[in-house]
């Protein structure tokens, strides 16, 4: 399925694909070029790089750049950051990777260390550099190529551990970046037809494993996330994206809990100056929520407030999503006053009846 025609406009003019001249990375490069993005590739293998860049440029009529670089070294990933500093990278595909298999002692220790340097260190460095720019621009996307072997796998010990890091890091970054309109997804392909899998096949027999060999283009389904907001595995619950903010001085840890998710704790993120926030979908209300501060319910002796109150410390907050608030407006008006709720009087009975039963949080929210 082709990508939307406005894909480049939505995310940015350039895609940077590490390992983008072969295997899964090459398929990412082709699909993004077909969507109208210019392609920058960072990889080893000069012949493959030149060939991939030329074919993509000729086939799709986009600009291409390529950089012959070894990302297992700090000089390598710094070279990528500096070389592509003059272009707006709207999509970063962290795809480059290496593996080792067999007994832990089959290969010299340097190869195991190189796996961590490339699969983990370089990935973090590039995400930090280009992700910061996306956050500043309030648009962009990042794809992490992990693996089904991201769980402990004997005879793939270092490789599977590195991919576990990729999955964990990618999912955490997704929660941090979502509030800035930067989408992140983690792809976990199985055994893919590539030079890497051919190397594995020379030494290991997968004929009775139950695994099927995937084509590289089967593994670019990560783009489903960018078409519709997430894969089935990681799709967020339905509802209005709502930002919750806790602003009551410096704390060590703050979590959000609400009745719409059975009061399960949602980790909030520290923004500095004693302010914590998180964006999460909330179905149509009314709803109650509370904050868990350093492991304790935040509460006061005062009665709950109906609607939005950004200044006082109260036991219960009620989320009452209304279409007239819009999808991106802050809950405060330009004058700084909170909007009036047309249904506040009708809601007062349910608010008061629940106030005596719970001691809940403090803070405010805005609609996203």
CATH number at residue 13: 3.40.50.720
Active site residue 163: yes
Residue corresponding to tokens 């109150």: 309
Q: Of 66, 159, 298, 367, which one is the catalytic site residue?
A: 159
Give pLDDT, residue 3.
61
End position of a domain, from candidates 164, 199, 228: 228
Which range marks the domain in which residue 60 is found?
7-228
Taking only the tens place, the pLDDT of each residue in 81-104 is 999 999 999 999 999 988 777 888
Q: Are residues 260 and 355 in the same domain?
A: yes
Tell me the per-residue pLDDT of 270-327, one tens digit each, with 9 for 90 and over. Answer: 777 777 788 888 877 667 777 777 766 654 333 333 344 443 333 344 444 433 333 3
Q: Among 177, 208, 228, which residue terminates a domain?
A: 228
* Distant-in-sequence contacts of 25-28, Cβ < 8 A, 24+ apart: 25/93, 25/95, 25/96, 25/145, 26/52, 26/216, 27/216, 27/217, 27/219, 27/220, 28/93, 28/95, 28/143, 28/220
Q: Is 60 a catalytic residue?
A: no
- Tell me which of 66, 121, 163, 360 is the catalytic residue: 163
Does the pLDDT of residue 109 top 90, yes or no? yes
- Our count of domains for the chain comes to 2
Average pLDDT of the residues of the chain: 72
pLDDT at 44 over 90: yes
Task: Say yes or no: 221 and 244 in one domain.
Answer: no
Q: Name the one residue in this structure whose structure tokens are 């907050």.
A: 317
Mean pLDDT over residues 249-255, rounded? 69
């Amino acid at each position: 399925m082709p990508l939307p025609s406005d894909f480049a406009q939505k995310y940015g003019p350039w895609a940077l694909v590490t390992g983008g001249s072969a295997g899964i990375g090459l398929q990412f490069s082709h699909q993004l070029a077909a969507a109208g993005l210019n392609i920058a590739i960072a990889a080893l293998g000069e012949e493959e790089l030149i060939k991939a860049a030329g074919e993509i440029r000729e086939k799709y009529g986009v600009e291409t750049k390529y950089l012959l670089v070894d990302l297992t070294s700090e000089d390598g990933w710094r070279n990528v950051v500096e070389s592509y500093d003059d272009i707006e990278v709207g999509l970063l595909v962290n795809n480059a990777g290496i593996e080792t298999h067999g007994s832990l002692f089959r290969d010299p220790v340097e190869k195991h260390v190189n796996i961590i340097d490339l699969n983990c260190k370089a990935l973090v460095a590039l995400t930090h550099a280009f992700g910061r720019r996306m956050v500043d621009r309030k648009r962009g996307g990042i794809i992490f190529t992990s693996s089904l072997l991201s769980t402990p796998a004997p005879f793939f010990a270092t490789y599977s551990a590195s991919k576990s890091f990729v999955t964990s890091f990618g999912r955490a970054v997704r929660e941090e970046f979502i509030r800035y309109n930067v989408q992140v997804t983690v792809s976990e392909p199985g055994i893919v037809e590539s030079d890497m899998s051919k190397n594995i096949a020379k030494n290991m027999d997968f004929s009775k494993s139950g695994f099927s060999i995937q084509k590289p283009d089967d593994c670019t389904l990560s783009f489903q996330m960018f078409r519709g907001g997430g894969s089935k595995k990681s799709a967020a619950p339905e509802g209005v994206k709502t930002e919750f903010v806790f602003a009551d001085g410096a704390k060590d840890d703050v979590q959000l809990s609400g009745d719409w998710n059975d009061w399960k704790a949602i980790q909030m993120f520290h923004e500095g100056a004693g302010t914590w926030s998180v964006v999460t979908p909330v179905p149509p209300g009314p709803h109650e929520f509370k904050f868990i501060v350093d492991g304790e319910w935040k509460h006061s002796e005062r009665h709950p407030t109906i609607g939005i109150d950004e200044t006082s410390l109260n036991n219960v907050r009620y989320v009452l999503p209304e279409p007239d608030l819009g999808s991106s407006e802050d809950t405060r008006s330009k004058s700084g006053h909170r909007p009036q709720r047309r249904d506040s009087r009708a809601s007062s009975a349910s608010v008061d009846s629940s106030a005596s039963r719970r001691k809940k949080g403090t803070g405010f929210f805005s609609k996203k």
